[in-house]
Amino acid sequence: MPQKTEQSTPPSGDDLLQHAKQTTSDVVDQVQQQAGSRLDQQKEQAVQQLDKVGGAIRQVGDQLGGQDQGPIAHYAAEYGRKAADGLQRLTTYLRENDTRALVSEIESFGRRQPALLIGGAFLLGLAGARFMKSSMPAAAGVDSDSNLGRGLPPPPPHQPVHVQSTSAAL
């Protein structure tokens, strides 16, 4: 005699929809947690870097202020101290506030002052690009000193197109 297998009733459309909603909700929660964790890490790195920059600016200001170099040096020292104080307030604010609260404040500021937010993002991008460019090593072969270190002669000096070389006439 053949064995009877129990047939389960196929899930209804409502059950499938409920399962899809739950799965989607779980995935969204997981993505939000990962994004929040990454934002927290990046916020902490930014705070550490801002602390270093603020310390360097304060040190330069203190050095300029300690020397008797005239009114311009005194003004630069005062400006440096004020900039360092501002960075210190910013880092304290970033440390004390939750990342989600910071994002919410940026969003609300963007709604109130979109031009300022876009302009600030643009300036921040320019500063970041400038920093990245200055921190990259020079490309190989571009520096004439790198050829000298390998025993190669330095590259010929650049001559404008309108100047004829004397060797070409020989």
Reported as a single tens digit per residue, the pLDDT across 65-102 is 776 777 888 888 888 888 889 889 988 988 888 888 88
pLDDT score of 65 = 75
- In the chain, what is the greatest distance between 2 CA atoms, to the nearest angstrom? 110
pLDDT score of 125 = 85
Average pLDDT over residues 4-31: 74
Question: One-letter amino acid identity for 22?
Answer: Q
Alpha carbon distance 131, 50 (integer Å): 14
Q: Is 157 helix (H, G, I), strand (E, B) or coil?
A: coil
Alpha carbon distance 9, 26 (integer Å): 26
Q: What share of the chain is helix, strand, coil (3-state, %, to 5)?
A: 75, 0, 25
pTM: 0.49
Asked whether the beta carbons of 100 and 89 are under 8 A apart, the reply is: no
pLDDT score of 31 = 83
pLDDT score of 144 = 47
| Close Cβ partners of 83 (under 8 Å, ≥ 6 residues apart) | 54, 57, 61
Alpha carbon distance 22, 15 (integer Å): 11
The full set of domain ranges for the chain reads 28-96, 101-133
